[in-house]
Amino acid sequence: MTPEIQMLLDFGDDKKGRGRPGKNHDAEHRLFFALYPPDAIEQQAASIAHDYCRAFSLFGEPRLTTLHVTIIWVGDYARLPEDVVFAALQAGATVESAPIAMSFDRVMRFPQARALVLCGEGGRKPLTRLRVQLGVSMHNAGFPHNIGRNFKPHMTLLYDRKTVPPATLDTPVSWTASEFLLIHSVLGKTEHRIIDRWPLLG
């Protein structure tokens, strides 16, 4: 185990439900599996975000340092329990998948989350299979069932209250994901910490 992982395991336990995931209004820590785009894709997404900010006078700040595609959410916690991290690491290590060709060709708003996102069908099927594998592995490790049917792969560019019309991109945002990651997000600080990563080798 790397020193970085050990450091993240030292949060201690929540005695009111050890390792129990949930939507917690007092949560400060989020754990999830995700794909990260390469630097060139981050720059392409940043350009799209800034174009939309200028065109529609948006006030939301582009999420350029934490761009990602969520595969499956693990849980939100007031303190990150070490048993949850350990179980999530075990789940991630059991998954096998080939590299995934992702492609987002649309920009739209998710009204409930007030989020401007990139989305598309490119890579949806293999990413869904990876999501199901992780969900099953997590369930086998003691997590509640967490595989919803309405999975829509997307990358959040920014949050803003304003409504913007959906649009098709002239140049899709595309890359081949060669790994997936377990991410610890420090909520409210736009900060992601990579706990571990696994190659997509097929």
What lies within 8 Å, CB to CB, of 153 at 6+ separation is: 69, 102, 104, 119, 120, 123, 124, 127
Q: What is the pLDDT of residues 39-69, one digit of tens each?
A: 999 999 999 999 999 999 999 988 888 999 9
Look at residue 187 and give its three-state secondary structure.
coil
- Report whether pLDDT(200) > 60: yes
Average pLDDT, the chain: 86
Lowest mean per-residue pLDDT among 1-10, 17-26, 81-90, 178-187: 1-10
Q: What is the pLDDT of residues 153-173, one digit of tens each?
A: 999 999 999 999 999 999 999
Task: Tell me what pLDDT residue 25 has.
Answer: 54
Who wins on pLDDT, 12 or 171? 171
Crossing angle of helices 124-140/82-93, nearest 10°? Answer: 130
Answer CATH for 29-199 from 3.10.250.10, 3.50.50.60, 3.40.50.10490, 3.90.1140.10? 3.90.1140.10
Question: Up-side HSE of residue 146: CA atoms within 13 Å toward CB?
Answer: 25
Angle value at C-alpha 189, between 187 and 191, nearest 5 degrees: 85
pLDDT at 11 over 50: no
